[in-house]
Amino acid sequence: MFQGHVAFIYIAAQASAPMESRQEVTAVARRGIEGDRYFLGTGYWSKSAGDGRDITLVEIEAIEALHREKDIVLDPGAARRNLVTRGVPLNHLVGREFQVGPVRLFGTRLCNPCSYLEGLTQKGVLAGLIHRGGLRAEIVAGGAIRVGNVISGE
């Protein structure tokens, strides 16, 4: 069992657009986050088949490790994930349901970094975030997600 929290929330209206910080977003079951590129169908990967594009998460600890280990300073929003968490073992949530405030999520697969992300940030991000680039999840039961919400699971 674990308990962490939402440290930051980000959305972008379209592919490659800068991520915009939010204090609160609305998560819609089986659809995504209102106003986000994948909810709107304008994300870089929107035309590719695949699951887990409802919402993405990354650990702030991974971003901090990138700085410590590779001397790469990455703004949490530059990781291009919707939720930045603290104290949550995201890799262990693949195939499991967990709670983010009132919202229920199901971890579908790891969200490994790609050359597209590295192209939007800087060289070394791909290697530095391999195996800790975050988690893709489906929204099982929607609602409001706020910065500071508790994230918990068994």
Q: Per-residue pLDDT for the chain (154 aa), expressed as one digit of tens each?
A: 889 999 999 999 988 889 999 999 999 999 999 999 888 887 755 566 566 679 999 999 999 998 999 898 889 998 889 999 999 999 999 999 999 999 999 999 998 877 666 666 677 676 768 888 899 999 999 999 999 999 999 7
The domains found in the chain, sorted by start residue, are 2-153 (2.40.33.20)
How far is it, in rounded angstroms, from Cα 153 to Cα 21? Answer: 25
| Both structure tokens of 126 | 């791909």
How far is it, in rounded angstroms, from Cα 146 to Cα 154? Answer: 21
- CA–centroid distance for 43 within its chain: 14
How far is it, in rounded angstroms, from Cα 119 to Cα 29? Answer: 31
pLDDT, residue 87, reads 97
Handedness of CA 83, 89, 91, 94 (dihedral sign): negative
Strand runs labelled E in the chain: 2-11, 20-22, 24-28, 32-33, 55-59, 83-86, 97-100, 103-110, 135-141, 143-146, 150-153
CB 11 within 8 A of CB 35: yes
pLDDT tens digits for range 124-134: 676 768 888 89
- CA–centroid distance for 59 within its chain: 8
Stated pTM of the model: 0.91
Handedness of CA 113, 118, 121, 122 (dihedral sign): positive
Helix (H, G, I), strand (E, B) or coil at 40: helix
pLDDT, residue 129, reads 81
pLDDT tens digits for range 6-22: 999 999 998 888 999 99
pLDDT, residue 1, reads 81
How far is it, in rounded angstroms, from Cα 122 to Cα 64? Answer: 16
CB 130 within 8 A of CB 86: no
**Terminal Cα-to-Cα distance of the chain (whole angstroms):** 4
